[in-house]
A and B are shown apart, each in its own frame.
Chain A
Amino acid sequence: MSRMRFVALFVVLILLLPSAIAQDEPVIHIFNNSGTLQFDAGGSDPDVLQRVQDHIAEQSGVRPVTIVPGGAASATEQLNLLLGSSDPVDLFQAPGNGWHDYAMAIIPITDLLAEHGQNIMQVIPESQWDIMRNADGDIMGIPRSTPTSPYITWVRQDWLDELGLDVPTTWGELEATIDAFRAHNPEAMVATRPGDVRWTTLGGFTPNGHSNWLDPDDGMVKPWVLQPGVRDWVTELNSWWEAGYFFPDTFTRFDAPELFRTCNLGVWMGWYSRITLITPQIESGCEGIAWARTSITTDMGYIATARPQNASAYVVTRKAENPAAVIQFMDWVYSADTTDNQLTARYGIKGEMWDYLDEESRLVGPDLSFGYVSEYMLPNLNIEIRYSLDDPSRAWHVEYLGGQLIDLGDAKWPFDGGLAYNLSRIADEVPTLGDLNRLLDEQTILFITGQRPLDQWDDFMNDLERAGINDWVKAISAQYNELGGV
């Protein structure tokens, strides 16, 4: 073959190649900011990922391509830039104020759900769709969150056993337990996070906990900070800080797994998965470590506040070239008849990367050695609780999801929990909302850590007024009344 003919043949082959490998399935692009990949930003092994993608495309009829966020902290920033660009993105999880913030970038999916989303509608209870509807009654997204009680106080069961103590049930008993822990181990600490501490403890000092509340004096709905008792809460936590109970970095940035690895954490007041996911990882280094979930009360009631469903949702973008395919894929993952699909999205190819150890009880045995890190998993508690896991690193976590996490019995239910506020509209009506949030985040920490004297509490209230908290009260109250109250 002459050189010219060879070159011509090569060119023809190159031109034909794309059509030869063309895929029949519609392709959808998922920005997976659901939190699944926050510790696996590097993604799966490319070959394994391709195989899982091919398998899902064959099973679902849709080829999903996942965009992995570079890191949990910057995922929202990446998403916002992606939506403003010409790059394809069809599906993402609306963070922040939920779908309201992204109303201009997404499409209603009522008709698509009716046509392609029977499984989704069946799996997610009717009560969880209200918050997804816009003023016209259209469904704007698939609910991501459900009512849960994730902010709980945990104490070290192994230390309680060692000291012959019972699990504390009152605030006073909790303090006595911490004192006993510290006498037993001078390094023993209490840890929380700036965002968690209100949820885990405010209920013990205020009538409504970490929640808006209705002021009977003027009939207005007000934010948590204006409740009677908040100053007592700050004073009490300040006394804990002064007594040295808290881990010194608890109100700044810290690496939670590293903190747990010290084995000196005696009390954790925060997000449940720090306990259920980190503990199995550190068990070998902290011999006998075990945790007890508490149900602590004061004379004001439970100290924890439950977390109502919010407007966080899986949404379909305006840019989506084939919105029906997006819903078709989600419907496949959320299959009502089988857990196979969600487990395929979570663990990869069935029979190879995972399988049922007991099909009837849906006990699953995953093989994590393949290096697939769940790019196609789009979690929702309604489907996550349908199986149990034979994986020591996650079995407790999965079991917890289906049990104690959704038990709202030992936490205060927020006064207006579940009311479908349009927080995006409130942000527009209260231009200083960012300032108010900074004041709340910053000043409560300064009071707790003693960097601002408690006798300046009234000045703080004045600062809130100057920053426009009354506009916030008016905006929330207006929406509360529009929604018909509770």
Chain B
Amino acid sequence: MSARSMMSQRPYSPPAANDGKWRRLLKRVWFYRFYYLLALPGLLYFIIFHYLPMIGIVIAFKDISPFGGVAGIIEAPWVGFKHFNRFFNSIFFWNVIENTVIISGLKIIFGFPAPIIFALMLNEVFRVKFKRFVQTVSYLPHFISWVVTTGLVTALVATSGGLFTEWLNELTGERWTFLTNPDQFRGILTLTHVWKTIGWSSILYLAAMSAIDPALYEAAAIDGANRFQMARHITVPSIAFVITILFIFEIGNLLDAGFEQILLLYSPAVYSVSDIIDTYVYREGLLGLKYSFAAAVGLFKGVMAFLFLIAANTLANRLGQPGLW
């Protein structure tokens, strides 16, 4: 017997006015117990894997030994904001922040609209087989690991022997150095990101488009609208809520500029334009065994991302779009 049918036999009656506050709450919880039961696994997941680990934040304010285990964390001395100050006073603090924001920004500017445009274009394709073929091909890069992807990128744009580089050298008579030239390195990161994510990210938009009432298109066609006008005045407004929500998520991830991709492609020659918060933390924290410092920088990054998320959500609400809350 389903929860709905069980409850439908006995409609919810508001608790008596003389019931205490907690008693009323308990009655309500008991009445909806099956719904709460359904939500329980999800709640437990978030509590165990997302909230309890937050206790680990304390190590950002302590000097812990990486090998001391839980006892080591408890016994380690409190050092206040020492690790935060060290990060803020680093000669590379602004460079690392700037790189993170610029690389993320480039990925948003070029990588966020790309799947929308791609989905709009696919939506206009009527040959189902061709459409499915293009979709499948565009999804493939998503399943290729960054290790393999960076291998492909290197094979294409390595200064010596890169297929694309050699072709460009021949064409222009100049020597191109994509992976060692600070002026070109971020372009490679952005292009690779777009190539890898365009297909997979378009799925949500395509799903939202499939839910649009065909009658709207039929009415527009009767009114003489062309395909472009229909896309502009029907398709885009209809998927605007998905665009807004995904954009808010993107802003929340602004400080995640692509650790794995950069770590596998960068070198000292391009540190100045590619060393992001995550690569900095990786070198200093994980390899240098400074876990407290890594936790402090991670916490700083988390707080900043949270502020970005709130700002983006507020902006969306003010522009009349549905936000996350």
Contact surface of A with B, Cβ cutoff 8 Å: 76-77, 80, 83-84, 96, 101-102, 104-105, 194, 247-249, 251-254, 258, 262, 318, 427, 431-432, 434-435, 438-439, 441-442, 445-446, 449, 451, 463, 466-467
Contacts and interface: CB of A to CB of B under 8 A. Distances in A.
A446 B185 CA distance: 14
Interface residues of B, number: 35
B124 interface: no
Interface string B50-69: 00000000000000011111
Nearest to A424: B289
A76 B286 CA distance: 9
A467 B68 CA distance: 31
Nearest to A85: B69
A438 B289 contact: no
Contact of A248 (B68, B177, B267, B286): B177
A253 B175 CA distance: 18
Interface in B153-207: 154, 158-161, 175, 177, 179-182
Nearest to A433: B288
A83 B159 contact: no
B287 interface: yes
B16 interface: no
Contacts of B213: none
Given A84-B69, A104-B65, A104-B67, A442 B177 contact: no
B160 A248 contact: yes
Nearest to B275: A438
Contacts of B154: 253
A427 B284 CA distance: 11
A277 B67 CA distance: 37
A243 to B, nearest CB: 13
Given A83-B66, A438-B271, A441-B271, A249 B289 contact: no
Interface stretch (B30-38, B86-94, B230-238): B86-94
13 contacts: A83-B67, A104-B66, A104-B67, A194-B267, A194-B268, A248-B180, A254-B160, A427-B288, A432-B86, A432-B89, A435-B92, A441-B271, A442-B268
Interface in B268-289: 268-272, 275, 283-284, 286-289
Minimum-distance CB pairs A-B, first 5: A248-B159, A105-B67, A252-B267, A441-B268, A467-B91
Chain B residues touching A, majority SS: loop
A163 B135 CA distance: 58
Contacts of B288: 96, 427, 434
Contact of A80 (B66, B91, B269, B272): B66
Nearest to B293: A431
Contacts of B68: 104
A29 to B, nearest CB: 16
A249 B91 contact: no
A377 to B, nearest CB: 25
Contacts of A84: 66-67, 69
A258 to B, nearest CB: 8
A427 B290 CA distance: 10
Contacts of B92: 435, 438
Interface centre among B66, B69, B269, B286 (most CB of A within 10 A): B269
Interface string B74-104: 0000000000001001111000000000000
B91 A463 contact: yes
B179 A249 contact: yes
Given A194-B267, A438-B275, A442-B268, 15 more contacts: A80-B287, A84-B67, A96-B289, A104-B65, A248-B175, A249-B160, A252-B180, A252-B267, A318-B67, A427-B288, A432-B90, A432-B91, A445-B267, A445-B269, A446-B272
**Most chain A beta carbons < 10 A, residue from B160, B181, B275, B287:** B160
B84 to A, nearest CB: 12
Given A194-B267, A442-B272, A252 B91 contact: no
A104 B72 CA distance: 11
Nearest to B178: A252
Contact of B287 (A96, A441, A463): A96
Nearest to B182: A451
Interface in B250-267: 265, 267
Contacts of A253: 154, 179, 265, 267
B59 to A, nearest CB: 12
Nearest to A463: B91
B13 to A, nearest CB: 53
